[in-house]
Amino acid sequence: MKTLIQQLHTQKKKLVHVLLGSIALLFVVYSFGIASTTINIADAKMYDQDINELQTEIAELEVEYFEIINILSIDEAEKYGFTETSNLHYAYIDKTKAVAYNL
Amino acid sequence: MKRENKQFLFRLRVIFVGVVCIGFVLIANLFYIQVTNGNRFREQADGQYVVATYNSFERGSIFFEEREGTRISAAGQKSGYKISINPKKFTADPEEVFTVLSITLDIDREDFFSDIEKKNRTYIEIAHQVPKEIGEQIKKDLGSAIQLHAEKWRVYPLQGSAAHVLGFLGYKGDEYAGRYGLEREYEDTLKRENVDVYTNFFARVFHNVQNLVDSTSVPEGDIVTTIDPQVQLFFESELKDIQDTWDSASVGGIIMNPKNGEIYALGAYPNFDNNDFSENSISDFKNPLVENVYELGSIIKPFIVAMSIDSGDIDVNTLEYYDAGSVDVEDYTINNFDKRGRGWVNVQEILNQSLNTGMVHIAKQISKDDFREYFDRYGFTSKTGIDLPNEGNNLTSNLTSNRQIEFANMSFGQGIAITPITLVSALSSLANDGVRVTPHIVKKIEYTNGFSKTFDYSDQDVQVLSPETSGEISRMLVNVFDAYRDGGVKLPNYRIAAKTGTAQIPNPQGGYYDDRNLHSFFGYFPAYDPEFIVFLYTVHPKNVRYASQTLIDPFRSTAKYLINYYNIPPDR
């Protein structure tokens, strides 16, 4: 028992050094953590803004697409010889699955 | 002495560790500045490319959603440049500069040359919202003759579609914020805190801390709406056709899901482009479907019939009425629209032929208290609570009267003025097993902190009628639609419950105009399990008398579009 206490006493200095070193290391790691979190937040905001602008560009292209597909009307189809289907029948399993056909 | 040495060493070590830690923090910041953002800061420091001031305007997006769930940005933002000149230091050839600028920009020649002459000025803007590529090319060509300033601005890619729903940004005094529509209603969610990310390092570290701990602040987010962009565009083209064909003073329409109140499309004319509305008058910005009230006329008749059935005051199978073309109520005479009598008619025929006299007879069967209670349940005496600003107050003061003439008038939709959105909400009670739903535009908010909020309005549903009454009135309205133009408009494979309305427009000087009408129309389908309510109206169409002439065809076209787009299977 006395030997253990003596051993602890002689290693006290080393323990203090280890403790202080750990505190310093933790501080450095913590600072890195804060810094990288902040950097990532700032970068995430930047990327959000870029995504926002890309989505706007995509929407403008979609509007062009809608304008083109809306040209395809019944009148337009008739110009090319298509006619509106009459005498339609439907086969359906349930509300979400239906097939149209005419005889 | 030995002890002093030890203390000195200890303090030295503490200082050494402190210096090392600070060194690491500085290295991290250096890494951020030099490696992550090196190019941008270099250019700003040079001052030769983009002027160091930075417009940090940011705002959340508003999305429309297609049937498969694909989101389209209906309100987003773009970045580019403002271009300015410094007349005091301008040494380039003005003619050459103007030539280069006018290739890609719309600049007034006179204004440009007069700006160059203002030698006491150091900053004059000559163009803004210039796309990046164009701005950079101009800078390359003209060098220091012009200055570029980074700029961001709000963009509405659908170019005026759903403008009344979206609203726009504008100044009120010094405040640049949402005005009208969702931009205003969700201003707190859409606005972004104005923080320049290029301020000092410690500001960047701490700038979000306040928001995290402040419980009163509204989280920032993007909005996802119930509007389907393809349906909106198609519907608006139908509304535009109505206005162009009949030269109407105004036109409007709503498409809503009667089961949950989601609005698929909402549009009105006159319209405006929220990207550029400088030529429009303020009255164009009002959303008439939410803010304006109208006496809608015969379109109210199904509500009267439904509440009479629901209260047990009439039996549709046995009630018969002798229609003489007119009926006296107190000191007034009420006529049918054509002043003709039909003889003995039943309730179905009263609806089919939209007989005012028959409606007066039906309304007499209901007690005034029941009448008031049902109108209250329909939502006619209150606002719907739709998530758009400035919802109008319905004018229903005649309900408090004890005069029979007021109730007689209300039985065919005159003497009571309601907003179109109130009507559509009430229509859901006819279509949806008697349950009235809350109409709404926004279904979800996605916050920047990663969380989201989905809106569920089902706890606000009101059971107005019994399911049996809802079924009965739907059956009758299907017969109404099937009978229009002797069966010429019905869709063979789909039951559509519908009704037209032709109402007189009140004259502000008293009475009603003789030569002006408001036409309205609603339809819901498939009638017994409806997916859509479509409502249309047009104010003062020219050279036409009845709503059946103006609105049935656009409705039919819209119904066919929705059936095809959403793959609605037939119900007969």
| Whether residue B373 has pLDDT greater than 50 | yes
Burial tier of B245 (Cβ tally within 10 Å: 0-12, 13-18, 19+): middle
Among A46, A63, A90, the residue with its CB nearest the CB of B157 is A63
Taking the C-alpha atoms of residue B19 and residue B17, their distance in angstroms, rounded to an integer, is: 5
- Residue B54: the pLDDT is 47
- Asked if B149 contacts B138 with a C-beta cutoff of 8 angstroms, the reply is no
- Asked if B531 contacts B525 with a C-beta cutoff of 8 angstroms, the reply is yes
- Residue B189: the pLDDT is 93
- Residue B53: the pLDDT is 47
Taking the C-alpha atoms of residue B80 and residue B44, their distance in angstroms, rounded to an integer, is: 15
* C-alpha separations of B149 from A48, B413, B529 in Å: 21, 58, 57
- Asked if B126 contacts B106 with a C-beta cutoff of 8 angstroms, the reply is no
What is the end-to-end Cα distance of chain B in Å, rounded? 107
Which of the 8 DSSP states describes residue B433? Answer: T
Among B273-277, B420-424, B491-495, B566-570, top mean pLDDT goes to B420-424
Question: And the tokens for B436?
Answer: 């009235």
Among B58, B73, B570, the residue with its CB nearest the CB of A58 is B73
Give the mutation candidate from B73, B152, B233 for the A interface (greatest A CB count, under 10 A).
Answer: B73
**By percentage, how much of chain B surpasses pLDDT 70?**
91
ipTM for this model: 0.76
- Asked if B71 contacts B78 with a C-beta cutoff of 8 angstroms, the reply is no
The structure's pTM equals 0.84
Domain ranges of chain A: 2-102
- pLDDT, one tens digit per residue, over B434-469 is 999 999 999 999 998 889 999 999 999 999 999 999
Contact B20 A59 (CB under 8 A): no
Which of B535, B540, B552 has its CA nearest to residue B300?
B535
Please give the backbone phi and psi of residue B515, each rounded to the nearest 5 degrees, phi first: -115, 15
Question: And the tokens for B530?
Answer: 């409806």
Tens of each residue's pLDDT in chain A, 103 residues: 657 767 767 778 888 888 889 998 998 898 888 888 888 877 887 888 889 899 999 999 999 998 888 887 777 888 888 887 777 777 777 656 677 787 7
Contact B21 A28 (CB under 8 A): yes
Provide the pLDDT confidence category of residue B200 given band limits of 50, 70 and 90.
Answer: low
Q: How far is B26 from chain A (nearest CA, A)?
A: 10
Query: B536: which strand partners?
Result: B253, B521
Contact A20 B13 (CB under 8 A): yes
List, in order, residues 6 or more apart from B43 with CB less than 8 Å away. B49, B50
Residues from chain A that touch B71, judged by Cβ atoms under 8 A, are 55
Is residue A31 less than 8 Å (CB to CB) from chain B?
Answer: yes
| Whether residue B568 has pLDDT greater than 90 | no
Is residue A32 less than 8 Å (CB to CB) from chain B?
Answer: yes
Average pLDDT over residues B386-393: 96
In the stretch 58-77 of chain A, residues with CB closer than 8 A to chain B read 58-60, 62-63, 66, 70
Taking the C-alpha atoms of residue A46 and residue A40, their distance in angstroms, rounded to an integer, is: 10
H-only helix segments in B117-155: 132-142
- pLDDT, one tens digit per residue, over B159-181 is 999 999 999 998 878 888 899 99
Q: Is B65 left (phi over 0), alpha (psi -120 to 50) or beta?
A: beta
Question: And the tokens for B405?
Answer: 């003439």
Average pLDDT over residues B50-67: 75
Which of the 8 DSSP states describes residue B145? Answer: G
- pLDDT, one tens digit per residue, over B247-282 is 999 999 999 999 999 999 999 999 999 999 888 999
- pLDDT, one tens digit per residue, over B101-144 is 998 888 899 999 998 888 898 899 999 899 989 999 999 998 88
Is residue A47 less than 8 Å (CB to CB) from chain B?
Answer: no
Q: Which domains does chain B have, with CATH numbers?
A: 53-153 (3.90.1310.10), 229-565 (3.40.710.10)
